[in-house]
Amino acid sequence: MATPKPQMTIADLNQFFDDAFDTPRGYEVVRIEQDRLRIRQSVETLMLRPGGTVSGPTLMALADAAAYALILAHIGPVALAVTSSLTISFLRKPQPVDVVADAEFLKLGRKLAVVDVRLRSDGMADPIAQAVVTYALPSTPPLGPLPDSA
């Protein structure tokens, strides 16, 4: 796609999330590429259910966060992007390990971004869940690259 190159580094994004949210976020951005991004949530923060599985709401929150991080990485720290809709299919029982979420643009338009997210138990090939997340983008232009001091 003719999407802009990523404008934020991994460190930029993790710092942005640290600053934006009061509560610990649980996940870390671990990879940024053109049109793609990966976040990881450690098993220690997953609040496992009895039986060692991961709750559906935890996976939904992670899918939403991965899509948001992908968008910010590419358009800059525009805090006003808001989730417009999210569809998630739960596919397999999560294992009691870290969860990795891979987000990829289906579209990055002027008004809407549509992101495919695959969630996997760390080290497994088959996804535990798949989500399509749509964000409404603010009509103001993106802020551009972060200043050096950010």
| Choice from 87, 141, 145, 150 touching its own copies (CB under 8 A) | 87
| Choice from 45, 96, 107, 122 touching its own copies (CB under 8 A) | 107
| Choice from 15, 78, 130, 142 touching its own copies (CB under 8 A) | 130
Give the closest residue to 130 by CA, choosing from 95, 94, 87, 98: 87
Residue 114 makes contact with its own copies by CB under 8 A: yes
What is the Cα–Cα distance from 102 to 100, expressed in whole angstroms?
A: 7
Residue 43 makes contact with its own copies by CB under 8 A: no
Distances (CA, A) of 124 to 30, 55, 96, 119: 17, 18, 12, 10
Who's near 126: CB < 8 A, 6+ residues apart?
Answer: 91, 92, 120
Q: Residues in the site for its own copies, rule: CB under 8 A?
A: 1, 23, 47, 56-57, 60-61, 64, 82-92, 106-107, 111-112, 114, 116, 125-127, 130, 132, 134, 136
